[in-house]
Chain A
Amino acid sequence: MTPQSPSRPLGPEAFKPVPVNTQAQEQIAAPSLTFSQDARSRLKQNKLALVSFWLLVFIGSAALLSLWFSPANPNTQHLAYTHLPPKWGNLNVPFFNGYRDGVDLYARSGVPRGTYFFLGTDYLGRDLLARILVGTRVSLFIALLATFFDLTIGVFYGLIAGWRGGRTDTIMQRLIEIISSVPNLIVVILMLLVFKPGLTSIILAIAMTGWVTMARLVRAETLQLKNQEFILAARTLGETSRRIAVKHLLPNLSSTIIIQTMFTIPSAIFFEAFLSYIGIGLPAPTASLGTLLADGQKVLQLYPSELVFPAIIIVVLMLAFNLLADGLRDAFDPRSSR
C-alpha cells in the first residue's frame, strides 16, 4: 500500500513562514492542578499506602464506635468463663468454634446459648475483643495527643528557631539537645515519683520530648526557605514576619509536617504500649494494647490466641502508619522516592 497522502510536489507556498500567534504561544494546555490534588493523585497510585489508609480508617472507626456499641463490658469479670477460645456464633469455623483440643469449652463452662466471645476471654473471663477495642482507642488517643504536641510545640518551636536564626536559634537548639539527650523512659520513671502511673505521666512525657524531631525538621526547612527569593520578595513588599510564616512558610512546610506527624504517631503508640507492657503505663483494670500483650504473654504456651490478637492489632497499626507515612512522603515530595 502506498502512504495515505500521495506525495504532492512542494510549491513555493510551502516555504512561506507560518504567522506566529504570540497569544497562542502563552497558552497552557494542561489542566490546572493544585498541589494537594497532585499529591492525592500520586497517593492513589500507591496501593500499599491506600490499603494502609483504609485499614486505619476501619480500625479507628471500630475503636470509636465501640464507645457506644461495645460487644461487652471490657471490665466485667466472669470467673466461670476464663480462657475461653474464640467462637463466631454457630458458624463452626475451625479455631473459631469454641473448641480447644476437641472439647467444646463453651458447653463445659456452662456459657448460656447465644453468648459468644468473638476473640475469646482472658484469665478473668473478660471479653478480649472488647478489651482490644479499648486498647486501640487508648493507642489512637495517644496518637492524637502526639500529633497535637507535634503540631503546636514542635512546629512553633522550629519556626521561631529557624526564622529568627542567630543567637535565638543557638539557644533553642542547645535546649533541644538537652531535652533529647534524656531518654524517654527515664522521664516517665521520674514522673512516677510525682504522679500515679497512668495516662498523665505518659502524656507529660510525650509533651516534653515527643515534638523534638518535628522542631528540628521544621527549623532546618525554615532555614532553607527563609533565603528563598519568594520570601525575600515578600519582605521587599513589606510583609510582616507573622504573615510570612502563615502565607509562605507553613504552606511550604506542610508536606514535612504531615510526613513527620505520620512517623511520630507509631512511635508514640509503641511508647505507650511498651510502658504498659512493662507495667509503668496504664494501671490494672484499664485495657491497653501493652497490658493485653503482657497478660497474653503470661499464658502464651497454653492460650496463644490471647497474645496473638492484640499483637496483630498493634503490628497492623504500626505497619499501616509507617506505610502510609512512606506513601505520603512519596506523594508530597516525589523527588525523595527511591
Chain B
Amino acid sequence: MTNDSVTTSAKRPVLVQVDHLVQTFNPGKKDEVKAVQDISFSIYQGETLGLVGESGSGKTTTGRSLIRLYQPTGGDVLFAGQNIARLRTGSPAMRDFRRKVQMIFQDPYASLNPRMKVKDIIAEGIDIHHLAASAADRDNRVNALLAQVGLNQDHANRYPHEFSGGQRQRIGIARALAVEPEFIIADEPISALDVSIQAQVVNLLKDIQAKQGLTYLFIAHDLAMVKYISDRIAVMHNGRLVELASADEVYNHPLHPYTKSLLSAIPIPDPAIERQRTPLVYDPREAEDNRPRQLVAVYPEHYVWAAADEVAAYQAAAVRQHREER
C-alpha cells in the first residue's frame, strides 16, 4: 500500500489535499529545523479534521504552511484542486485563496491590533477584498458578524483591550468569517481560554459550521476537546503524522504507541478509574531506526505510520480490538 491510498480513498469530495508536505526552517544551516517532515493527508468538504500532538510536534507549522504564511519547502497543498504551494504572492488566484481560507489564532490577546477599533478589525478583510458596496453596507456586515458571534452592536466602536479573552476570541472568529471563507484553520483557538469559555467558543464554531457548511482544521493538544469537535483526528509527532482515523476510532482503538501514550495521559474525572490509570511512556527512538515508514491503512479509514514489516502487526491489532469490542 502506498500513500495514494490516503488521499484517494475518499467517497466524499476532498477540499484540501496535502501531498508530501515538507517545511524546513533555515535549510542547510547549523540551526536547521525540520518542523514538518513529509506529511500527506486530505480534508473532506464540510468535515472537521482535528490535528493533535505535543508542543513542537509541528501542528502549528502545518497549519501555517497550509495557509501560506510559510512557503512550503517541499510537497504540494491542493485547495479545491489548486496548488497553493506554487501560487505567487499578489496574483489573482492568491487573492482568491486569501479570501477562501482563514485562520483563527491561539492567543486572543495578540491576535487583535490594540490600536484598531473592533469595527475596523472585523472589517479588515471586507476592505481588502472590497466586499462592501458602501460604508453603510460595511457597518451592516460588521453588525451582523458581531451578532453572529454573540456580541453587541455597541461593541463595534471599542478597542480590544476592553474585552475579555473569550470575547476577543469571538472577535477573531468574526474577522475570519467576514470574508465568507470555505475553510478555516483554527490554531489552538481555545487553549488560552478559561475552561468555562472554551465550551462557549467550541460550540460557537460548531454552530457556524452547521449553518455555513464550513470545513475546519482544528489544531489542539487537548484530546478531549478535539474528540468533541472533530470528525477525524490526525496525530502528529516530531513533524510526522503517526495516526489518522475517525475521532471514535482514534479514541477507542488507538494503534500507534504514541497515540496510546497521548490517550493514557488524559485524566479521568472518576477517582476510581483515575487511580487505575497508568500513563504509558512513548520512546520516540522506537521510530528513529531509519527504516522507511509511511502512513498505511491498517483498517478501513484508519492509517498508521509504519514500516513495511510492522503493518501486519498493526492490522492484527486493529482486527483484534474491533472484535473485542463486539
Contact = CB atoms under 8 A, between A and B. Distances in A.
Interface in A224-272: 228-230, 232-240, 243, 247-248, 251-252, 254
Contacts of B113: 230, 234, 247-248, 251-252
A269 to B, nearest CB: 31
A128 B1 CA distance: 96
A240 B90 contact: yes
Nearest to A253: B115
A22 interface: yes
B99 interface: yes
Interface in B145-171: 150-152, 155, 157-159, 162-163, 167
A230 B129 contact: no
Given A26-B151, A27-B152, A233 B105 contact: yes
Contacts of A15: none
A254 B114 CA distance: 12
A233 B159 contact: no
Contacts of A252: 113-115
B212 interface: no
Contact of B152 (A23, A228, A251): A23
Interface stretch (A28-36, A61-69, A98-106, A280-288): A28-36
Given A236-B98, A237-B128, A228 B163 contact: no
State the main secondary structure of chain B at its contact with A.
loop
A232 B69 contact: yes
Contacts of A251: 113, 115-116
Contact of B124 (A22, A30, A32, A239): A239
Given A26-B151, A26-B152, A236-B101, A34 B172 contact: no
A233 B101 contact: no
Nearest to A237: B125
Interface string B230-248: 0000000000000000000
Contacts of B15: none
Interface in A207-233: 228-230, 232-233
B111 A233 contact: yes
Nearest to A228: B110
A32 B107 contact: no
Nearest to B67: A236
Contacts of A237: 98, 102, 124-125, 128-129, 175, 179
Interface string B93-126: 0110011011101110011111110000100110
A188 to B, nearest CB: 39
A288 B155 CA distance: 54
Given A26-B155, A28-B155, A35-B159, A235 B69 contact: yes
Contacts of B116: 247, 251
A229 B160 CA distance: 14
Interface residues of A, number: 28
A297 to B, nearest CB: 49
Nearest to A234: B124
A238 B110 contact: no
Contacts of A35: 114-115, 159
A300 to B, nearest CB: 52
Contacts of B99: 238
Contact of B103 (A27, A33, A236): A236
Nearest to A35: B115
A232 B159 contact: no
Given A236-B103, A238-B95, A32 B158 contact: yes
A167 to B, nearest CB: 13
A313 to B, nearest CB: 37
Interface in A8-37: 22-23, 26-28, 30, 32-35
B121 to A, nearest CB: 8
Contact of A232 (B94, B98, B103): B103
Nearest to B109: A229
Given A32-B162, A230-B110, A236 B102 contact: yes
Contacts of A236: 67, 69, 98, 101-103
Interface in A300-331: none
B92 to A, nearest CB: 11
B103 to A, nearest CB: 5
B265 to A, nearest CB: 28
A247 B124 CA distance: 10
Contacts of B103: 232-233, 236
A232 B64 CA distance: 9
Contacts of A247: 113, 116
A233 B172 contact: yes
13 contacts: A23-B152, A27-B152, A28-B158, A32-B158, A230-B112, A230-B113, A233-B103, A233-B111, A234-B113, A236-B98, A237-B98, A238-B94, A240-B90
Given A234-B124, A237-B98, 12 more contacts: A23-B152, A30-B162, A32-B159, A229-B105, A229-B110, A229-B111, A230-B121, A237-B102, A243-B128, A247-B113, A251-B113, A252-B114
Closest 5 CB pairs of A and B: A238-B98, A229-B111, A251-B115, A229-B105, A237-B125
